Structure 1
Amino acid sequence: MSDTTVPDYPTARESSCPFAPAATIRAMTRENPVGKVRIWDGSTPWFITRHADQRALLNDPRLSINEKRPGYPHMTRSRAAGAPHHPALITNTDPPEHTRLRRTVNAPFMVKRVEALRPRIQEVLDNLIDQMLAGPNPADLVQAIGLPVPTLVITEILGAPYEDHELFQTTSHMLVSHEATPEEAQEAARALSGYIGDLFQRRLAEPGDDVLSEMAGRVRAGEMSPQEAITMAMAILIAGHETSASMISLGTLALLRNPDQLALLRANDDPKFVANAVEELLRYLTIVHTGIRRIANEDIELHGKVIKAGDGVIFDLSGANWDAEEFPDPERLDLRRPARQHHAFGYGAHQCLGQSLARVELQVVYGTLYKRVPTLALAVPFEEVEFAMEGVAYGLRTLPVTW
């Protein structure tokens, strides 16, 4: 393959269809499933887009998530600069270390624990809808509902005061941005680490009923180090609000663009239908649009090509979720489609820790908002809605709505 045929990645979406993966990605899924892309540093890692191939390889021990290895295809310049200094995390270690670390934070995100939060999430949402309806019309759904729902929930779970949300929304946004310089990312990490570190010291002295207190107990028991606990709490805080906030706003926009599907959701009170609608919206939108990254431990043959030991590999999740072999007519939003096999949360051992929480939050929002506000509509033309594409996940800067 000549240099001129290697596309840049991430790849810009077409403005006429911003929910769809870029045309290049869809073409590679059909025609070149083991291709290459060029990333920010000029390197050309392998690029895997088909659903079946991702299923096979994301569980394959011949691939590693160790970001400290030379040749690892980092998402950004700032991630590459920080990688040598990052402590061990569930996002950069392979089993058995990954297994040990995941065990220390798994409990609060187990399905049973998360289900117990459903009434509180419902209460949070209902209060926010009341406030939006009592306030100015039109309103920005991102600020009124999208950001506050997951932020209120994750701060309660973690044990961080919600009134500090501006600090961690600003710092976490900087840490996942592709446009942040290494210096900006480092400063944001320092600020957030200092903030979480202070909270953690308080929980060590006076434990409460929250995740930070649970981790403090594990530190006292010698099961994890204080730095591991602080870094893990930072990761939970960042992941716990950025992606769900994007899904709430983007899902609403996608439904407003597909009024037949929105009508189905409004008319259906069956929790199973709502849960399936969430899966289809996760598949359709695939908000992590910068791929997930690995490096080969040994040679891997796939479709007649050889991924050599030491080669970087990127899995584009939207490619898999719009793979017509797995999801016929993928460009059609169909809330009745059985879509649970999607890869919106990744796949394999490193699947998203908070996926159960995200699912319940989205089920509560999608199952409530459009019934409570049946006349919800865009307050601007669709073409004027501003997408934010610079982060690991894409979203909306604002979503002006009226009712």
Structure 2
Amino acid sequence: MTESVSMVQTLLDQLQTLPGLVGLLIGLVLMGVVGLNLRESARLRRLTARVRSRVEPAEPAASSGGTVSSSPREPGWSAGTAQTGGIDESSPRPSGRDVGLDADVDWAMTPESVPLAEPSFGFGATPAVRVASPERLHRDLSVHDEWLVTLDGFGLEQVSHELILAQFKDWHRCGQKTVRFGLDGQDRLVVALLLVTRQGGLSLNEYNQFYDRLAAGLSECPGVDSAGFMAQLPDFSICHARSRERLRTLEALDGQLVFHLQSDHPASTQNTAAFLSAMGLSERAEGRFSRLDEHSEAIFSVLPGDQGFNLSFMLDLPRVSHPTQAFSDLVDLAQACAEAFSGRLVDDAGRSLTSALFEQFAQQVASRDQALTAAGLTPGGWLNRKIFS
């Protein structure tokens, strides 16, 4: 008993000193901070349970016309879809460009692009037919977006596809342009060089890389007149002119829709990450979350904000398979974030975005989707993911 009284007296004596008082105050502050964080986490968990059902991704049903329809969503939001970025997931958040609507929501372009216009948007005795490495052969080659070289004539018709492909192992790029192999309507082997990307048209260096690599590979095929075959290919000026013409179409239809969340009381990084994960998003880079499709490609992304914004929401339309549905889901998620973090949704200029404005944006997304499809740039397709990267 005497020892207990002595210990208490010693503790009281220590508290009367300045270091003791400081230690007590620090302990009380830490306890208060921990308590506030626990209460905020509990609130977000309850809110997550309430809003998750309306922001879960829906599987769109394909229709025969190349578009997709889905069941109605909340009143006032578009539910129709149609069939496209890295932006490559490593791409930075685009800078703002106005699309001509009342709010300054950002259809961002790359530096080389022009401002967006409104979319009007072994040998064989007979010709060889065996095909090796079928995963390398594409049936969706584009006469508009690729330089197609049919590997026929000059002895090539007597060489199997396997032997030709064996000369081009690991050949997938020339500079920034993709190289791929496919079959035409007559099952002839075709090699295709992409003519245009967001970074620009075909360069002389890329043309020369393609020409030299193709010539070297064909020269290894027995019985093939490689020099004769290469001599009949078009020169750079023709390919470059085609590339520039297609680039103008690309620039008129390209765009990324960006808007933001602004809050006077921003949530912590940990609570934000926990909430976005609970909403079904995956962290692709530090602080950057994306809703992914069945191929692990980003449908839309949520990024850390800058210039006074807490979060930024981005839809890279040409790279998304069902742009209208993706936009509707992105708006649902953004509204859930605004509710969870006591914020408001704004454009680049900080002006509030209303339901009426979001309906206008949904209509513009649908119009851009149709214009891309009409131009042969199917949103979400393999080719679009290479072009708009």
TM-score interval (norm. to shorter)? under 0.3
Higher strand fraction: Structure 1 or Structure 2? 2
TM-score by length of 1: 0.24
Give the TM-score normalised by structure 2: 0.25
Largest Rg, 1 or 2: 2
